[in-house]
Structure 1
């Protein structure tokens, strides 16, 4: 159980640290080639999504490692499921059918929920 959690949590954390960091610090022009949806989204919302991703990535790893508020790992995993449901809806509403990454991230976060309950 621990190996499964740390593998999934580690991979998700790396992905969301990078993706969230990019959203936090890159300009709209630099984001546009990677994320077409930023054209129709206020930059404050893009930055908020980036912050949520970075905090979620930290929440998957740090609380179980330190033993301080370990329930945050479960909250982070659930948050990533909700985030990817929203991201998938945005892609589909824009007519973009390339949602394989979103579905993969959603499933990985969903699978992470169960082992995250071991720290409760």
Structure 2
């Protein structure tokens, strides 16, 4: 179970890192022109960059606390925060009729719920 939780957290960290770097460093006009990125044209550039930075921090939060043994409880806390982010993303994509992206957000949400449940109830980190 521990390995499965690490793999799930690693996958989420990779998704968060990729999305975070994209939102932080790709120009807003270019993001808005991509598939699934149209919503970025409807909000401020600062909002998009803030989400990007939060996603980069989430990537770190899925891995570093446990790997370094410093406040490992932050892993399930990060997972709960990711769940909230995916709810918002699902609502945003749903309003735009981007249902395949809603399904993808649901997969990420389910993975985060698994990590949160696993690290809070089934196999929490010692210490």
Which TM-score tier does this pair reach, normalised by the shorter chain? over 0.9
Q: Do residues 19 (structure 1) and 22 (structure 2) align?
A: no
The 3-state SS of whatever aligns with 2:99 is: coil
| 1:101 and 2:107 aligned | no
Which of the residues 56, 65, 85 maps onto 1:54?
Answer: 56
Q: Which residue of 2 aligns with 1:116?
A: 119
Any stretches of 5+ residues in structure 1 without a counterpart? none
Runs of 4+ in 1 over 4 A off after TM superposition: none
- The alpha-carbon deviation at position 119 of structure 1 amounts to 2.0
| Number of equivalences | 120
State the distance in 1 between where 2:40 and 2:54 align: 16
User: RMSD between aligned alpha carbons?
Assistant: 1.2
Equivalent residue number for residue 37 of structure 1: 39
- Structure 2 regions of 5+ residues with no counterpart? none
Per the normalisation by structure 1, the TM-score is 0.94
